[in-house]
Structure 1
Amino acid sequence: MAGLIPFNRKKNDLLRSDFGDFGSMLDDFFTDPFPFRRSLEADTFKVDVEDGEKEYIVHAELPGVKKEEVALSLEDGRLRISVQRNEEKEEKNKNYIHRERRVCSMERNVFLAEAGEENIKAKLEHGVLKIEIPKKPHVDTSKRIDIE
């Protein structure tokens, strides 16, 4: 256990005391590109993959995403889930000094070795996308070799 190294020492609150790292905190404040910060946590969505006996079940957490904003594809066993969002509100009779919009694109790829391409089901409900992918029937390709 002593050899474990935290993933991100800079942001690990477990290693910090109350004010022991005050100098680093000030450095982080002035060097951190706050409005443009990118991280795996902010830029992607969570995906769980269950390997069942006859099918794969994939759950992707997509809160606030509409089904029109999601694209799914399966090619050579690789499941691709992509989300393209454009959050813009049309407001008339407003005199803006500053106005922002948000455009977001996220994608996850999962390799499913035995994924079949027929009878795939997908449903987006309460912010969770559930995808059921049947497995290909296992074909025995072994060949008996006779000894002379």
Structure 2
Amino acid sequence: MIQNTSTRNLPNDLFDSLLPERQDFKVDVYQDENQYFVKAELPGFNKENVSIDYNENTLTITASNVNTTNEEISSYIIKERNTSEVSRKFIFKNINDTNISASMADGMLTVKLPKKQYKKQIIID
């Protein structure tokens, strides 16, 4: 929500309805001992319309939804679906970028980013 100090006493939802809807998506990012996980909610998108890039420690997830219709409809009563593109970027360090994997099911994208394994010194007892 954007709050303007000159309109602080007015109802928030009045101004929220005038602002464009937030153009991103919700994610969970977590890790275990061997890898990071990014789970992204992308309802309405299929895997052909989602791109994932990892470059210079930055994971970029972009999803495009093109409203394709052959008809020109000039008298919409309500038009909420539109062409949109959403994108998020995440910075990860020490990733084994040759083994990054992703899957998508039911509008949920899961990206697995394996951590680089470093040699561990073994102490002799």
Q: Shorter-chain TM-score: what band?
A: 0.7 to 0.9
Cα deviation for residue 38 of structure 1 reads 2.2
- Which structure carries more helix by proportion? 1
Cα deviation for residue 89 of structure 1 reads 2.5
Name the residue aligned to 1:43: 23
Gaps of 5+ in 1: 1-6, 11-20, 141-148
Name the residue aligned to 1:132: 112
Cα deviation for residue 32 of structure 1 reads 6.5
Q: Conserved in 1, the CA contact under 8 Å of 2:45 and 2:64? A: no
**1:104 & 1:48 partners in 2: Cα distance?**
22
TM-score, with length taken from structure 2? 0.74
Q: Which of residues 107, 116, 126 in structure 1 aligns to 2:96?
A: 116
Q: Secondary structure at the match of 1:118?
A: helix
RMSD: 2.9
Gaps of 5+ in 2: 121-125
Name the residue aligned to 1:73: 53
Name the residue aligned to 2:87: 107
**2:92 & 2:49 partners in 1: Cα distance?**
23
**2:20 & 2:102 partners in 1: Cα distance?**
29
The 4+ residue runs of structure 1 with deviation greater than 2 A are 7-10, 31-34, 88-91, 96-101
Name the residue aligned to 1:16: none
Change (3 A) 1:139 1:72: same
Asked if 1:54 corresponds to 2:34, the answer is: yes
Q: Which of residues 63, 66, 74 in structure 2 aligns to 1:97?
A: 74
Q: Conserved in 1, the CA contact under 8 Å of 2:104 and 2:110? A: yes
Bigger Rg over Cα: 1
- Aligned sequence identity (%): 27
**1:61 & 1:114 partners in 2: Cα distance?**
25
**1:84 & 1:123 partners in 2: Cα distance?**
17
Paired residue type of 1:120: I
TM-score, with length taken from structure 1? 0.63
**1:79 & 1:73 partners in 2: Cα distance?**
6
The number of equivalent residue pairs is 113
